[in-house]
Structure 1
Amino acid sequence: MFIKPQSGINRCYQYFLSRRSITMAHEKIKTTTTSDKMTTSRYPTGYDLLLDPRANKGTAFSIDERQLCRIHGLLPPTVSTPRLQVERFMENLRNMPDDLSRYISLNALQDLNEKLFYRVAMEHTQEVMPLVYTPTVGLACQKYGLIFSKPKGLFISILDKGHVYDVLRNWPIDDVRAVVVTDGERILGLGDLGCNGMGIPVGKLSLYTALAGVRPQYCLPITLDVGTNNEHFLNDKYYLGLRNKRVTGKEYDDFVDEFMQAIVKRFGQQCLIQFEDFANHNAFRFLKKYRDLYCTFNDDIQGTASVAVAGILSSTRITGAKLADSRFVFYGAGEASIGISDLLVVAMEREGLSAEQARKNIFLVDSKGLIVKNRPAGGLSEEKLRYAHEHEPITNLIDIIRTIKPAYLIGAAGQGPAFTREILELMASINKHPVIFALSNPTSKAECTAREAYETTKGQCVFASGSPFPNVEYNGKTYVPGQGNNSYIFPGIGLAIVTCNIRHIPDELFYLAAKTLSEQVGDEDLKVGLVYPPLEKIRDVSRKIAVSLAEYAYEKNLAALYPRPNNLEEFIQSQQYAVEYEDIVPPRWDWSNKTLAKL
């Protein structure tokens, strides 16, 4: 029977013949002759296609594709649309018993069908982001030894010292442009989780793609395992990391040095290295040590600073007061608080203050109380000393607020509820619109809830938090608490870096990102208390941040991509990851040249 040349069956037959010819030519069909029979291994099938998360479409493969790729019969006969796939997944997700189960389900989808995973994340950002990252990722890290199923990054242990580059060579993709690395010593507000901290870089890089469109193949999560001081995990039979106390000192520093050098050797000088959840004593010195040598930043210091300052800039449109005329009290004096303070100084310099004058408006509170010069309890680190005032020591937070009378109360201590009813009432008595930021993660570590803040201040406050809180109905008005999550900042910064090859990341870029983010907050957002744009707009917001940073980078000769694109926004948008499935164009056998050609 003659088969029409344009029919799907004929294309399938041509594809079959071409695969058979190529396979035979490369001797991939092994034959064994015995006395009475010949046995031949099976032809290559398309089953591997369904196991490749970047190529798999699941039930969305068309009938032609199923025949041409030899997966016909491996799937149910109905062809689904991508929209129906999303609806089916979300229906299952919502019926699961708890958020950890939902986290596991989303990870399984990412392992199975990458484009569908990101389509789900992009179309249901508000619902999915708290499951992919904070607050659920904190619980996932604590349970990591139980739920680990498939590698999504690299584990490099102190036992690999001297061979870090060899471990990096095991990663199958050469074009890596963004690395997120942790050593697990200070995961969120949960402390030392050791190897279990891998959930953080995996989650961060998922947001790079979902929220900014950085292509997932460019991203590599890494955990540096140097041990843990957490006795619970050292005695946990399911713990997957090294069972020894943390390595410190010169051996640790040499290991991190080797890692940084190996990244550049393997992936190039423009590869972004984002530090996550290192302990304070290491985070500040690594930032100072590496920032002028590598394309690197610390998200806990600089990313948190940028998103917080964006919220502060937005809040001035509600309070009507300039930053230079306001006082700030930070509950906590670690990476986040000092990072925010340093970037606030940059913002106040834009309003005409000197750095020294700006620091006089900022007051830090640590576990020993208000940070002052000549503190009786002992010395201060270099970072804290910048904000030490000539003031009598005060240990109680409410007494500090009574004395300082701040317009802004910002929590980043990770110690849980600290902004009591009495403190919130005091802030409302001092200010018409007190600004209350409870930034500690996860939710259990927040300094107060959105409801507590709005109800205690009688709806007067401007509120934002690190973890999401539901809307609050109070006195006939709906308040929408803003989530001051770093995910508003680092994906856009990453997008700018990987598309324009930005070599170094000065503080000015983080101020510019904060300013750009605050400009995306509309008047309607402010009316309901939002100091950040709705999460549904975050992909567009990330692109605008990337464009602003790219323009600055080209002005300051920080970008290595040449020639400069004529239209940076169009160029960056063209580089963003798309979740639409690609049509599979099968090869055909060109009989004249005996080669494969595209149809």
Structure 2
Amino acid sequence: MNNLKGQDLLRNPFLNKGTAFTEDERIKYNLIGLLPKKIDSIEDQAKIVYERFKSFENSLEKHLFLMNLYDINRTLFYYTAGKHVVEFLPIIYTPTIGDAVMNYSDKFDTPKDAVFLSVDQPKNIKESILQAASELDDIKLIVVTDGEGVLGIGDWGVQGVDIAIGKLAVYTIAAGVNPKNVLPVVIDAGTNNKTLLNNPMYLGNKFERVTGQKYDDFIDKFVNVCLKLFPETLIHWEDFGRGNARRILEKYKDTICTFNDDIQGTGVMMVSALNAVARVTKIPVKNHRILVFGAGTAGVGVCDQILLEKIRTGLSCYEAKKQFYLVDRNGLITDDMNDLTEGQKKYAHKKEEFKTSLKDLIKIIEEVKPTVLIGTSGVHGAFTEDVIKVMAKVNDKPAILPISNPTKLAEAKASDIIEWTCGKALVVTGGPSDPVYYNGIKYEIGQANNALLYPGLGLGIITAKSKVVTDGMLSAAAHGIASLQDLSKPGAPLLPPVSNLRIASKLVATAVVEAAVKENINRAPISDAEKAVEAEIWEAKYN
């Protein structure tokens, strides 16, 4: 029990059992009189938590209630969440986490073991991390954000810390990553959100975002401190802005163990979905034409991962790139456009390929005849009935994947897509969708929920103590997810349901470990990948 007694023990969320302390434990740890007399099992406690959870009327209140439990009793939090994964996951993380981020300063209660690093205090990085990690075991996983590109809601400054906390909670719920091995970090580099700068309650730095060399130097020092303190840790970058996310990943990905879920995770989920589409349509992955509506970090990341998959199926990089079409607010991206990002330039088509510049999505579809339409724009309703119908006109089984999150930013609803295509479409959404009933068929809608991917990926990396995160490992993760699905029935979902989260995570982790061993980048000696993964999984139970 780490020698803690009395109130100090009850205040430690990792050791606190609340009313589950036995009579002997209450005597031993000076808890007599500090708890009600009744002794509960963890099952009893979880039932009480669930009943209270159901009593709250809105999702944000439910989120705040669960995160209060997280503060008080981490074991009970994870035990209860494990019993109600499908119901709790959208409350703990997306889509409710967006509301939590926006209300963070106004509803702040505790820091929840996060590390707050201010860009104007680089000397404090090491001390701050050591202080936060002092109550934990060896840190194996760090999720860090600077809050500039939160989900589809933009720059929320230091309030983005909730994203790092929530992401790590999902690592544990989905894959059993030990909560004493993780550290949420937010880099407070200021904010360009005028609402926050004018809010007297805002808890972050009240200056515009720091950019350039000062920002880069801070990131570099942060990485170096983390690796000196925890040489085998995985650094997971989350919700960085468009101008920094890819640049940071490219700088470090070949030399340290690091991963960006917005760029790589979403892309891997789409690789998994595309493999399912290929099986249903009988069109090989290498022959699919991909139109991505929304050419930001996520959109380019999707293209990058699918590109690698196409190359693995036998295409050259040149041949594969010709099958991608990116669309942003100015229309189809061509090489004559100004201010293209490096990622956009990679997929820009020559202007001469088209008779005129193409700005209207319907005309773009008619021109390039994509087999797969992916939405990463955050533009609600962008996939109109006419857009969907033209996809159905040029394809027998159009794959339409509006994956923008949260749901209120989705390009289209699954029910509309099914109806507008007369049941022909293969659909994946970013948020959860109810089944759609059409012409006597029940269409289960797969959700491109990165929770099916990144927790298992992280668990696999931790298990293997991988030196880096390779494309081969990401591909193994994608195929690990896809292996779960039986696509023989009409209306079958292209991706596994969230109820299969634990199964999916274990499959992904095992595939990732096997890939790391195959590539000889594991630092842990491993003879049996599945057994190694099982040994690493933490279970929520009282000691």
TM-score in terms of structure 1 length: 0.86
Aligned length: 534
1:217 deviates by 0.9
Residue 522 to residue 67, structure 1, CA distance change in 2 (3 Å): farther
Q: Does the residue aligned with 1:436 lie in a helix, a strand or coil?
A: strand
Whether the aligned pair in 2 keeps the contact of 1:463 and 1:529 (CA below 8 Å) is no
- Does the 8 A contact of 1:53 with 1:110 survive in 2? yes
Aligned counterpart for 1:461 among listed residues 412, 425, 430: 425
Checking the alignment, whether the CA contact within 8 Å between 1:428 and 1:457 is kept in structure 2 is yes
- Of 575, 580, 584 in structure 1, the residue corresponding to residue 541 of structure 2 is 580
Partner residue, 1:569: 530
**1:247-326 aligned within 5 A:** 247-268=210-231, 270-326=232-288
316-325 or 64-73, which deviates more: 64-73
Q: Superposed, which structure 2 residues align to 1:111-510 within 5 Å?
A: 111-152=71-112, 153-171=114-132, 172=134, 173=136, 175-268=138-231, 270-375=232-337, 378-390=338-350, 391-392=353-354, 393-510=357-474
In structure 2, what is the equivalent of residue 15 of structure 1? Answer: none
Cα 1:462–1:180 shift into 2, 3 Å:
same
Q: Tell me by how many angstroms 1:310 deviates.
A: 0.7
Q: Contact 1:162 / 1:258 at 8 angstroms: preserved in 2?
A: no
Counterpart contact for 1:144–1:196, Cα < 8 Å: yes
Query: Structure 1 residue aligned with 2:60, among 100, 112, 115?
Result: 100
1:487-535 deviations in whole A, cap 9, x for unaligned?
11111111112222101011221111111111111247x6433111122
Give the 3-state SS of the residue equivalent to 1:179 in structure 2: strand
User: Which has the larger displacement, 197-206 or 499-508?
Assistant: 499-508
Counterpart CA distance in 2 for 1:83 and 1:288 is 46
Q: After superposition, where does 1:67-78 map in structure 2 within 5 Å?
A: 67-78=27-38
Contact 2:175 2:505 in 1 (8 A): yes
Say which SS state the counterpart of residue 406 (structure 1) adopts: coil
CA drift of 1:80 comes to 2.3
Work out whether residues 472 and 515 of structure 2, in 8 Å CA contact, stay in contact via their aligned partners in 1: no
Would the aligned equivalents of 1:327 and 1:407 in 2 still touch at CA under 8 Å? yes
Alignment correspondent of 1:37:
none
TM-score by length of 2: 0.95
Deviation at 1:379, TM superposition (A): 4.7
- 1:246-266, CA deviations, whole angstroms, 9 ceiling, x for partnerless residues? 111111111111111111122
Does the CA contact (< 8 Å) of 2:276 and 2:487 recur in 1? no
> Separation in 2 of the partners of 1:248 and 1:73?
54
8 Å CA contact 2:464–2:526 kept in 1: the answer is no
Q: Distance in 1 between matches of 2:358 and 2:279?
A: 32
1:70 Cα deviation after fit: 3.0
Task: Choose which of 26, 47, 54 in structure 2 pairs with 1:87.
Answer: 47
TM superposition shift of 1:45: 5.2
In structure 1, how many angstroms separate the alpha carbons of the residues matched to 2:339 and 2:56? 51
Asked if the contact 1:471–1:481 (Cα under 8 Å) also holds between the matched residues in 2, the reply is yes
CA distance in 1, matches of 2:75, 2:250: 38
CA deviation vs aligned residue, 1:29-62 (integer Å, no higher than 9, x gap): xxxxxxxxxxxxxxx9533322221112222223
SS in structure 2 at match of 1:163: helix
Cα shift readout 1:403-427 (whole Å, capped 9, x = no counterpart): 1111110000122221001111111
| Cα separation, 2, equivalents of 1:88 and 1:323 | 49
- How many Å separate the matches in 2 of 1:95 and 1:78? 23
Q: CA deviation at 1:357?
A: 0.8
Give the whole-Å Cα distance in 1 for the aligned partners of 2:44 and 2:371. 49
Residues 516-564 of structure 1 show CA distances to partners (whole Å, capped at 9, x for unaligned) of: 111111247x643311112222112212211111112122221111xx2
Deviates more, 1:212-221 or 1:455-464: 455-464
Unmatched segments (≥5 aa) in structure 1: 1-18, 20-43, 583-599
For 1:143 and 1:249, locate their aligned partners in 2 and report how far apart those are by CA, in whole Å: 29
Distance 1:569 1:497 in 2: 13
Provide the rounded CA distance (Å) in 2 between the counterparts of 1:345 and 1:252.
31
SS in 1 for 2:153: coil
Q: Quick one: which amino acid aligns to residue 28 of structure 2?
A: L
CA distance in 2, matches of 1:141, 1:451: 29
Q: How far, CA to CA, are the matches of 1:255 and 1:73 in structure 2?
A: 49
Distance 1:303 1:86 in 2: 32
What is the deviation of 1:65? 2.6
CA distance in 2, matches of 1:549, 1:325: 27
Q: Structure 1 counterpart of 2:400, which letter?
A: I
Following superposition, the deviation at residue 324 of structure 1 comes to 1.9
Q: Is the 8 A contact 1:493 1:549 kept in 2?
A: yes
Tell me the distance in 2 between the aligned counterparts of 1:579 and 1:45.
Answer: 22
What is the rounded CA distance, in whole Å, between the counterparts of 1:178 and 1:484 in structure 2?
23
1:108 shift after superposition? 0.7
Give, in whole Å, the separation in 1 of the partners of 2:286 and 2:409.
Answer: 30
Which letter maps to 2:475?
Y
Residue by residue, what CA displacement relative to the aligned partner does 1:125-160 show, whole Å, maximum 9, x if unpaired? 110000111100001000000222111210100121
Deviations 1:72-125 (A, max 9, x none): 443333332322222221111112010000000110111111111111221111
Q: Runs of 5+ in structure 2 lacking a partner?
A: none
Once the two structures are TM-superposed, the CA of residue 354 in structure 1 deviates from its matched residue by 1.1
Shift of 1:455: 1.8
TM superposition shift of 1:63 = 2.9
Distance 2:129 2:33 in 1: 39
Letter in 1 for 2:219: V
Contact 1:462 1:529 in 2 (8 A): no
Larger radius of gyration: 1
Deviation string 1:174-201 (CA, Å, 9 cap, x unpaired) is 6111111111111111111101111111
RMSD: 1.7
8 Å contact from structure 2 (residues 117, 186) kept in 1: yes
Q: Distance in 2 between matches of 1:355 and 1:181?
A: 32
